[in-house]
Structure 1
Amino acid sequence: MSEPAVNSQIKDAVQTSTNWAMGFAPLDAGTPSSASRVSAGGAIAYDKATQAAALAVQDAADYQRNVMSISTTVQGKAMAMMLASGGLNEPALVAYAMALVSAFAAPIAAGLAAESVTKAVESFPKN
């Protein structure tokens, strides 16, 4: 059984629309030489990259929020241990100090992550 023949006009139309959508077709005559066209493939890639970047920044903010919540809980527990023992005890003091350090480090880490994601999006080719 032979394959059905496809009309050459249909083949040309599909090839032309594919070339246009993917950005391979030349711009029309009369278009200023400074004009450029973003291909559909490039636009989709840019859209997906910016979505991924937005999720990365959101994850960094979630990380910061979670670390801050844990840090606050540890600080409260350490303070309760110090008050219950009637003075400074070493395990509570160490836990309190580590909680403070993590509370300071979380926003810095989230900020660095957001900054690197922003630089990656800015350097992404747009066409």
Structure 2
Amino acid sequence: MTDAVNSQIKDAVQTSTNWALGFATLDDGTPASSTRVSAGGVIAYDKATQAAALSVQDAADYQRNVLSISTTVQGKAMAMMLASGGMSEPALIAYAMALVSSFAAPIAAGLAAESVTKAVQTFPRN
């Protein structure tokens, strides 16, 4: 079945594949000290950094959403306290939980961004 394919076409496909994956040798005239980066490695690095950027963006969105919910809960709990004329236990618990979540959201987002940054920095580039 492979005999039906022209040998020049097979050679062209094999050569372009070798160059794309970084298996081909350097051309004559290229300094011996230069290294060749494979296109496959560059594409993989590009896709990994794009995924990392999306995960940092997701962490920021998570933080923004949690802080928005937390602020809403704090306002509702404060309204409950003012409406009841004192400190009601459910309102106090809701207020405390909203404060804790508003402190935890930036910490969680920061840890996520830090781990993503470390993953990108240690990603092999060749």
**Could you state the TM-score of these two structures normalised by the residue count of structure 2?**
0.93
Q: Give the % identical residues.
A: 85
Give 1:46 shift: 0.8
**Does the residue aligned with 2:4 lie in a helix, a strand or coil?**
coil
Moved over 6 A (4+): none
Does residue 23 of structure 1 match 2:31?
no
1:11 maps to amino acid? K
Q: Map of 1:41-80 to 2, 5 A cutoff?
A: 41-80=40-79
CA spacing shift, 1:28–1:3, aligned 2, 3 Å: closer
The number of equivalent residue pairs is: 126
TM-superposition CA deviations, 1:6-63 (whole Å, max 9, x none): 3322222221111011100011233223211221111111111111101100100000
TM-superposition CA deviations, 1:74-125 (whole Å, max 9, x none): 0000000000111111111111011001000000000000000010011111
CA distance in 1, matches of 2:2, 2:119: 48
CA spacing shift, 1:3–1:40, aligned 2, 3 Å: closer
1:93 maps to amino acid? L
Give 1:3 shift: 6.9
CA distance in 1, matches of 2:32, 2:2: 44
Which residue of 1 is the match for residue 112 of structure 2?
A: 113
CA spacing shift, 1:3–1:50, aligned 2, 3 Å: closer
Which residue of 1 is the match for residue 94 of structure 2?
A: 95
**Does the residue aligned with 1:20 lie in a helix, a strand or coil?**
helix
CA distance in 2, matches of 1:36, 1:4: 36
Q: Which runs of 5+ in 2 are unaligned?
A: none
CA distance in 1, matches of 2:59, 2:97: 20
Root-mean-square deviation (CA, aligned residues, Å) is 1.4
